[in-house]
């Protein structure tokens, strides 16, 4: 089969490498344009572009994929199949109709759960114990196409969004090869998604990382794991933004359970213990805005912070 590969994020890299290793014919790779990085000092290429260059593949980086000239280019590649993985632009129905067979998409969730841009993050934030990868025939409605293959994995309590993305990216590569084999042998079925089970995973915004200390310690722990790379989790201390990077859930003893949510209960070299809506959190790594990440022992050595003070979800709370 003649394949055109669409992808931009690191999540798509193992799948492209798997196609190359297996000897599939890739007539073109479509990835996002180079973007300015480090305050515009230089342009950054996608990892997909780097892999494609190393393999000698033809690379295309349209600013807007649905323009007539880009559609003409895609038709000229005479594809049997489009493979789309974390590409970053929505494809028109005209583009989806180009391949001789159809277009497939690999999505990092157990569809129909977590349709949208951030399925890995929201699965962790919501405390899911299982997630996975789904291969679908692509349709115009977002992540709504019929299922070709699907495989689940357990979400470990220590998994962060970064770690789980890596785990699922390799699973996606395996499922892609299995899907291509089934399609080539005409040995597959298209199973409609259950519309009653649909849930969504919208792109995360900065404010999604704001900690509400009235939530349980477990819920806050899940938020921190799910927002590790972006947007990060944060609170306010004396009106200053404070990023929280690593925590541990601790069961509250009876006296501690009376402390208001967000109150600092105890400070030691091991961590800063904070009351939540249920149980406590020990903060082990944190960061003042514009500064580097510090372990608690280093942070308390350079900052005056006391038990009884409050971490807040409001910037204007001062002592």
The per-residue pLDDT string of the chain (319 residues; one tens digit each, 9 = 90 and over) reads: 999 999 999 999 999 999 999 999 999 999 999 988 766 567 899 999 999 999 999 999 999 999 999 999 999 999 999 999 999 999 999 999 999 999 999 999 999 999 999 999 999 999 999 999 999 999 999 999 999 999 999 999 999 999 999 999 999 999 999 999 999 999 999 999 999 999 999 999 999 999 999 999 999 999 999 999 899 999 999 999 999 999 999 988 776 768 999 999 999 999 999 999 999 999 999 999 889 999 999 999 988 899 999 999 887 654 4
Q: Is residue 138 in some structural domain? A: yes
Q: Is residue 25 in some structural domain? A: yes
pTM: 0.94
Q: Is residue 316 in some structural domain? A: no
In this predicted structure, what is the pLDDT of residue 6?
Answer: 98
User: Are residue 193 and residue 243 in the same domain, yes or no?
Assistant: no
In this predicted structure, what is the pLDDT of residue 273?
Answer: 96
Of 142, 173, 197, the domain-final residue: 197
Structure tokens at 188: 């597959």
Q: Is residue 310 in some structural domain? A: no
- Could you give the CA distance from residue 26 to residue 79 in angstroms, rounded to a whole number? 9
In this predicted structure, what is the pLDDT of residue 41?
Answer: 65
Tell me which residue range forms the domain holding 93. 2-197
The number of folded domains in the chain is 2
């Amino acid at each position: 089969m003649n394949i055109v590969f669409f992808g931009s994020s690191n999540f798509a890299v193992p799948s492209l490498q798997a196609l190359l290793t297996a000897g599939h014919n890739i007539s073109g790779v479509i990835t996002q344009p180079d973007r300015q990085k480090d305050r515009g000092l230089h342009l950054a290429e996608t990892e997909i572009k780097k892999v494609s260059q190393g393999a000698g593949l033809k690379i295309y980086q349209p600013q807007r994929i649905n323009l007539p000239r880009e559609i003409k280019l895609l038709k000229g590649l005479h594809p049997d199949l489009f493979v789309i993985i974390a590409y970053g632009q929505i494809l028109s129905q005209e583009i989806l109709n180009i391949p001789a067979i159809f277009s497939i998409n690999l999505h990092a969730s157990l569809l129909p759960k977590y349709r949208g841009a951030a399925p890995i993050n929201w699965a962790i934030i919501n405390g899911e114990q299982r997630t996975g990868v789904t291969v679908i025939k692509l349709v115009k409605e977002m992540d709504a196409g019929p299922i070709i293959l699907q495989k689940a994995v357990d979400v470990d309590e220590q998994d962060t969004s970064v770690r789980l993305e890596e785990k699922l990216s390799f699973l996606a590569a395996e499922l892609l090869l299995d899907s291509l084999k089934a399609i080539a042998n005409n040995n597959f079925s298209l199973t409609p998604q259950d519309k009653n089970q649909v849930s969504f995973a919208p792109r995360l915004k900065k404010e999604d990382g704001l900690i509400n200390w009235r939530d349980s310690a477990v819920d806050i722990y899940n938020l921190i794991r799910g927002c590790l790379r972006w947007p990060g989790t944060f609170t306010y201390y004396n009106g200053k933004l404070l990023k929280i990077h690593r925590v541990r859930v601790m069961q509250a003893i009876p006296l501690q359970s009376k402390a208001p949510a967000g109150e600092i209960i105890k400070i030691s070299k091991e961590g800063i213990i904070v009351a939540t809506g249920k149980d406590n959190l020990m903060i082990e790594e944190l960061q003042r805005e514009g500064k580097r990440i510090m372990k608690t022992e280093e942070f308390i050595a350079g900052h005056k912070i006391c038990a009884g003070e409050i971490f807040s979800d409001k910037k204007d709370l001062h002592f």
